[in-house]
Each structure stands twice: as structure tokens, then as C-alpha cells.
Amino acid sequence: MFRQMGSEAIGSFFWLGVGIFFAIEGIRLNVGILKNPGPGFLPLIMATLLVLFSLFILIKGLIKSKTPLSKILWKKQLLAVVSVFSYIFLLEFVDFLFSTFIFMFILFAILIKERYRWPKVLFYSAAVALAAWFVFYVVIRTPFPSPRLISIWS
């Protein structure tokens, strides 16, 4: 059903929701009076504008030609997001070098699509992890979380 509505209508539904949410919260914040505008004054104005523009796009999208929705390949993006959050989680337990190696290994495995890719994936992951460890850990001294389980270098 969503695909038939066209990308403009689907997108405007999202913004409409965001606008309504911010408008309600803006009213709760105290809008004030014109002589003394409160903290919710400009948020309410902006949220109302957001709602109005979204409605304009929504109506235009429903009446006029429906722009087809671009193909969204959720699988790879989802894998990337999951791997980033797993990486963040892993950083709490395993040190930077090791967790970066695992993270890079997953990303290169997603991206490199060749027949004999594993030696390449291994090599790139190790090289990037070592370079990143040298730059961020040794040179810049970024204070990463102290690993609770495995620590190779620190």
C-alpha cells in the first residue's frame, strides 16, 4: 500500500508525525505571550510550519504524479548498523585493537564480493585495525572505554 502512495506521501507522513510531536511538546513547554515569549514559542512556530509544509507535500503527492520510491536495500544497511552497535558494545569488553579488527572484518566481508575474498578481507581488516590503533590509541590517545575482559595492549 505504501509503495502505491509514492515517495512524497510516505516521506510527508514521517515529517507530519515529527511536527505534531514537537508542537504538542512545545505547547507543554509554555508558549508565553507575544510581549514575553516562552521557551515553547519558537518550537511551536517551527513545528506548525513543519506540519503545514508536510501537508502540502502530502496533498501534492496524493493528487499529482506519484514519484516511485527508490529501492532501499535494507539488508546491507541493517548489517552495517548492527555491526556498529555490536562494535560499540564490544568496546566495553574487548580492547580497541581486537574489537576494531572484528568490526572491520564484518564490514569488508559485506563489501568485498570476490571469489577468493577471505585472505583479502583478513589482510585489510588487520591492516586497518593496526593503523587505527596506532593513530587513535598511540598518537592521539583517544580515551576509549577500559575493556572488562580482553586487553592485548593496554
Partner 1 sequence: MGVLLGTLIGVLPGIGPSGTISILLPLTFKISPVTSIILLSGIYYGAMYGGSTTSILVNIPGEAASVVTCLDGYQMARQGRAGPALGISAFGSFIAGTFSVIGLMFLSYPLTKFALLFGPPEYFSMIVLGITFVTYLAQKSMAKALITAAFGFLLSFVGIDMITGKPRYTFGIPILLDGVGILPLVMGLFGVAEVFKNLDSPETRAIFKTKLRGLLPNRQDWKDSGRPIVRGTLLGFLIGVIPGGSSPLASFASYAVEKRCSKHPEKFGHGAIEGVAGPESANNSAFGGGLVTLFSLGIPPTVVSALLFAALMIQGIQPGPFLISEHPDIFWGLVASMYLGNILLLFINIPLIGVWVQILKVPSKLLHPLILLFCIVGAYSIRNTLFDVGMMMLFGVLGYLMDKFDYEPAPLVLAFVLAPILEQGLRQSLRLSGGSFLIFFNRPLSAILLGAAGLLTISYFFFKKQREVLDVKDENA
| Residues of the shown chain interacting with partner 1 in the complex, contacts defined by CB under 8 A | 7-8, 10-12, 15, 18-19, 22, 25, 29-30, 33-43, 46-47, 49-50, 53-54, 56-57, 60, 67, 69-73, 76-77, 80-81, 84-85, 87-88, 91, 100, 103-104, 107-108, 110-112, 124, 128, 132, 136, 140, 142-145
CA 27 remoteness from chain centre = 29
Smallest gap from Cβ 117 to partner 1, in A, equals 11
Q: Give the start-end residues of each E strand in 16-138.
A: 32-33, 36-37
Strand partners, 94: 150
Characterize 38-67 residue by residue with b for buried, 16 or more Cβ atoms within 10 angstroms of its Cβ, and e for exposed: eebbebbeebeebbeebeebbeebeeeeee
Our CB check for partner 1 shows the closer of 77 and 154 to be 77
CB of 128 to partner 1, least distance (A): 6
Q: Which is nearer to partner 1, 35 or 115 (CB)?
A: 35
Q: Which amino acid is at 13?
A: F
Closest approach, Cβ 95 to partner 1, in A, equals 14
Measure the CA–CA gap between 16 and 48, rounded to whole angstroms.
10
